[in-house]
Amino acid sequence: MPLSDQTILCLATQGWDAHWTPVQQVMLRLAPANRVLYFEPFRPMLRRLIKGNVESSAHQSQLREVRPNLFIYRPGYPYLPFHLRSRWAAAANAPLYKREIAALLGRFGAKSPWLWAFFAQSPTVLDLSFQHIIYDCLDDWPAFFPNPREKRFVAEVDETLCRRANLVFVGSEPLRQKKSQWNPATFVVNHAADVEHFMRATHPDTQIPADLESIPHPRIGFVGMADTVRFDTDLVRRICERPEYHVVIVGGLLGGVDRQLPSLPNLHVLGMKAIADLPGYLKGMDVLLMPYRINEATRNIYPLKLHEYMATGKPVLATAIPAVEDFRDLIYVANDYEQFLQKIGTALTETDLALSAWRLERARQHDWQSHLNQKINIIETHLLATTTAL
């Protein structure tokens, strides 16, 4: 592996134990050959005080080694709340953020670490000394913040990371076009899936969980995190108006999605489930949904669930976001609500076993190790080779 024997500081977008995303997947695979310091996002002091009694029962030390060479750090400095909305709070938190990161690096004696940032809560961290800076931009972050103050702050950090990074990775071509205005060294590496894990949905011995098994067929399923920016609750409502269909949502509801969903007997919200159990839920579905709104955020995303779904071989139905255009020969893509409803019926009657096998084969090409290998190859070609030449 060209990238080895380095200390890599990862600025993560969520805690290690949160729902898994490319952040954990990439760092997990970098750790065997490198020392990875996974720096979780800080939580404001007020929130920690309010939740203190709850969290104390499941307290974990600030620094813990979860795998060989993979250290998780939970920030503990007294950060102020309203970091995204208040310039004053952000200005007060910035030196704390930089100091806590510097202290962590000093604890490991890391004099020339790499910075692999998925985002940063303050750009002051870039003032520290890093051998190389990678900005792994998973999404068009400003598009997820409707509050104008938050959007402005996030956009400023996003632009600064792009400009200061040696390399920028993005998940989609539309996002590359956006970010390359600030950094021409911007490269597309599509998101991937834990293919072998989700292929368990095809195994005869994988059990369908009891709470799903009790729901009548046909089951039209969504497995993942639903938020108000991307998840189209109006489309879900339209599907549920067909009483013969049972819509099943497995996962978390964020930002008030629960209040936007219809209260109908054929909508079943089963909540968050362990990652280990997801193949069983997918196995029990008849059609798998990607019901995305068409907006600025979804024009730039590359959904994780695309290859997770295809690894089951089952029919997949998506709204026409750019990321799925190259997969119209493998999945069902609808341009409007009426077409979406029509294609549910087509997907439910699918009998083409070759099409199912083709989905599995394409999914195998998009596992997380292949994803990381692409990034390592880009680093070797466009960063390490250039540095050596200099």
What integer pLDDT is reported at residue 58 of this predicted model? 42
- Shared domain for 243 and 347, answered yes or no, is yes
Q: pLDDT per residue over 171-213, tens digit each?
A: 999 999 999 999 999 999 999 999 999 999 999 999 999 999 9
Residues 142 and 44 in one domain: yes
Q: Are residues 333 and 384 in the same domain?
A: no
382-388 long-range CB contacts below 8 Å, 24 or more apart?
Answer: 382/167, 382/185, 382/187, 383/132, 383/166, 383/167, 384/2, 384/3, 387/132
Task: Give the CA count within 13 Å in the CB-facing half-sphere of 17.
Answer: 9
For the chain, counts of helices (H) and of strands (E): 16, 14
Q: Which whole number is the average pLDDT over 339-368?
A: 95
Q: Give the per-residue pLDDT at 46.
A: 57
222 vs 347: CA distance, rounded Å? 15
Q: Supply 348's token pair.
A: 């439910």
The string over 43-80, giving b where at least 16 C-beta atoms fall within 10 Å of a residue's C-beta and e elsewhere, is bbeeebeeeeeeeeeeeeeeeeeeeeebbbbbbeeebb
pLDDT of 41? 97
Query: Is 51 a residue whose pLDDT tops 70?
Result: no
Task: Note down the domain range covering 372.
Answer: 7-192+367-389
Asked if pLDDT for residue 55 goes beyond 50, the answer is no
> What's the pLDDT score for residue 351?
93
pLDDT of 57 reads 35
85 found inside a domain: yes
Structure confidence at residue 227 (pLDDT): 93
Q: With 90 as the cut, is the pLDDT of residue 255 above it?
A: no
Residue 341: other Cβ atoms inside 10 A: 17
Average pLDDT over residues 302-314: 95
**Are residues 212 and 349 both part of a single domain?**
yes
Give 140-153 pLDDT, tens digit per residue. 999 999 899 999 99
**Is 163 found in the same domain as 53?**
yes
CA distance 37 to 27: 9
Q: What is the pLDDT of residue 53?
A: 43
285 located within any domain: yes
Q: What confidence score (pLDDT) does residue 20 get?
A: 84
Q: For residue 122, what is the domain's CATH number?
A: 3.40.50.2000
Note the pLDDT of residue 50.
Answer: 47
**277/338 same-domain check:** yes
* Per-residue model confidence as pLDDT tens digits over 80-126: 999 999 999 999 999 999 999 999 999 999 999 999 999 999 999 99
Which of 180-194, 256-270, 376-390 shows the lowest per-residue confidence on average (mean pLDDT)?
A: 376-390
Same domain, 157 and 275: no
Q: Quick one: pLDDT at residue 18?
A: 87
Same domain, 35 and 182: yes
94 with 153, same domain: the answer is yes
User: What number is the average pLDDT over the span 318-341?
Assistant: 96
pLDDT at 164: 98
Rounded average pLDDT over 228-237 = 95
Q: What is the pLDDT of residue 385?
A: 75
Percentage of the residues of the chain whose pLDDT score is greater than 70: 94
Q: How many CB atoms lie within 10 A of CB 366?
A: 18
- Whether residue 188 lies inside any domain: the answer is yes
The pLDDT assigned to 116 comes to 98
pLDDT at position 54 is 42
- The two structure tokens encoding residue 113: 């670490």
The answer to whether residues 134 and 231 belong to one domain is no
Is residue 171 a part of any domain in this protein?
yes
Across residues 299-328, what is the average pLDDT? Answer: 95
Q: Is the pLDDT of residue 49 over 60?
A: no
CA–CA separation, 226 and 249 (whole Å): 9
Tokens of 361: 């084969």
**Cβ(116)–Cβ(376) under 8 Å?**
no
Question: Strand 63-67 and strand 70-73: pairing?
Answer: antiparallel
- Beta-carbon neighbour count of residue 343 at 10 Å? 19
Our count of domains for the chain comes to 2
Interatomic CA distance for residues 243 and 253, integer angstroms: 23
Q: In what order do the strands lie in the sheet with 246-250?
A: 267-271, 246-250, 219-223, 287-290, 316-319, 332-334
Rounded to two decimals, the pTM is: 0.90
If asked whether residues 68 and 163 sit together in one domain, one would say yes
Q: DSSP secondary structure string, 248-265?
A: EEES-B-TTHHHHS---T
Helical pair 22-30 and 368-379, crossing angle rounded to 10 deg: 70
Residues with Cβ within 8 Å of 61's Cβ and at least 6 positions away in sequence, in order, are none
Q: How confident is the prediction for the chain on average, in pLDDT?
A: 93
In a domain, 2, yes or no: no
Q: Does some domain include residue 241? A: yes
Q: Which of 264, 312, 268 is nearest to 287 (CA)?
A: 312
pLDDT band at 61 (very low <50, low <70, confident <90, very high): low
* Residue 353 clears pLDDT 50, i.e. is over it: yes
Radius of gyration of the chain, Cα coordinates, nearest whole angstrom? 22
Is residue 1 included in any domain, yes or no?
no
Are residues 115 and 155 located together in one domain of the fold? Answer: yes
Token pair listed for 49: 């005080």
Q: What gap in Å lies between CA 31 and CA 122, rounded to an integer?
A: 25
The whole-angstrom separation of Cα 276 and Cα 209 is 12
301 is a domain residue: yes
